[in-house]
Structure 1
Amino acid sequence: MARVLIIGNAGGGKSVLARKVAAKRGLPYREIDTIVWKPGWEAFPQAEYEAAHAKLIAEENWVLDGLGWTESLPARFERATEIILIDMPLWMHFWLAAERQFQWAQGKLEHPVAGVAEMPSTRDMFQSLWETDRDMAPEFRRLTDLAERNGKPVTRIASVEELDRFAASL
């Protein structure tokens, strides 16, 4: 049984890395955003999200990326057998998310977030990055520290260079 949680702010390369880890280790890839967002960037109702989240994390094996709702983080961290935290400076997340927006606008984005065809508003995306850094990042950092103290393997990635090295080492 292996459950690898890849966590961090948007635009940091979680999904790309998660797909690589899943392929290399022969594990199913799961994306939290698919249970958060409906087409048109409409959020699923909280009860639907919670039921889907509980079902998803109950699976025996997965590589799971994404943030979801803050209240669901502790259960996800508890169930994970390994944590990969992508925690680059906020400006880098803005930069990488902007690059993704350009790819999306040009029709060159291979894997749209949550499979949603419509590109999100850049303004809304940047607002979300800011709010995630302010409101949610302290919690996923705290949970990562706790998981590490409790003996779970934790990999911390703080730059694009570290991300590239880790991906190349798979």
Structure 2
Amino acid sequence: MASERGAGPGLKGIRRVAVVGCGGAGKSTFSRRLGELLDLPVVHLDRHYWRPGWVETPDEDFRATQRALVRAERWVIDGNYAGTMDVRLPVADLIVFLDFPRWRCLFRVARRTVRGWGRDGQAPGCPERLDWEFLRWLWDWPRDARPRVLARLDEHGARARRITLSTPREVRDFLGRLRSGDRPRGE
């Protein structure tokens, strides 16, 4: 399905939402706000993937966890994990892609690290950290991970409506229209 850029909400009947995007794009915060507005429970995949001390969950265990999570009738799930998008995208009603520029994501990650914020979806026992490996992943995301994510969205998210938000203003406008109950004409 083609992606709508900054589209109006028109989210009547939406029960399952997948939120994806680069680290620092604000997936967890956006998901929490969207969940509040749509009265949907929010699942942060980082909490299910990372074990204390930043230990990765084995792939098959993580896939099994996601299969159990997506059986729920209603949810907002945030996180990329491109290798397991085939579990959640086919059952999503809506996919929101936070497609922010590299500089904005790097700035946000650095800011939250310096301020000691942590993330909404922080896994227990995994304190906020900023290391060269993570910085390199963020820097390379537009070239390496973004194309893989887009390919997975096209491959596994064909039945879902897809919305791309690329600026904080688009995010604010989207959530604001949803909050006020405004709907684009024709919906």
TM-score using structure 1 length = 0.84
Q: Kindly tell me: are residues 42 and 133 of structure 1, through their superposed partners in 2, closer, same or farther at Cα, counting changes over 3 Å?
A: farther
Gaps of 5+ in 1: none
Are residues 1:83 and 2:95 paired?
A: yes
State the Cα deviation string for residues 61-111 of structure 1 (Å, max 9, x = none).
Answer: 10010112x22112321111101100011121111111121222xxx4473
**Unaligned 5+ residue runs, structure 2?**
1-13, 179-187
> What is the TM-score of this pair, normalised by structure 2?
0.78
Amino acid at match of 1:71: G
Larger-gyration structure (1/2): 2
Report how many aligned residue pairs link the two structures.
165
User: Is 1:169 aligned with 2:181?
Assistant: no
Match of 1:72 in 2: 84
Aligned mates of 1:92, 1:36 — CA distance in 2: 25
Aligned Cα RMSD in Å? 2.2
Structure number with greater CO (CA < 8 Å, separation at least 6) is 2
Deviation at 1:169, TM superposition (A): 2.6
Structure 2 CA distance, aligned partners of 1:112 and 1:147?
Answer: 24
Preserved CA contact (<8 Å) 2:47 2:123: yes
Q: Say which is worse superposed, 139-148 or 153-162, in terms of deviation.
A: 139-148
- Distance in 2, matches of 1:98 and 1:26, equals 31
Tell me which of 141, 160, 168 is aligned to 1:160.
168
Secondary structure of 1:118's match? coil
- The amino acid across from 2:114 in the alignment is F
Give the 3 Å change call, closer, same or farther, for CA 42–154 of structure 1 in structure 2.
Answer: same
The structure 2 residue matched to 1:126, chosen from 112, 125, 135, is: 135
In structure 1, distance between residues paired with 2:160 and 2:41: 20
C-alpha contact 1:85 1:144 (8 A) present in aligned 2: no
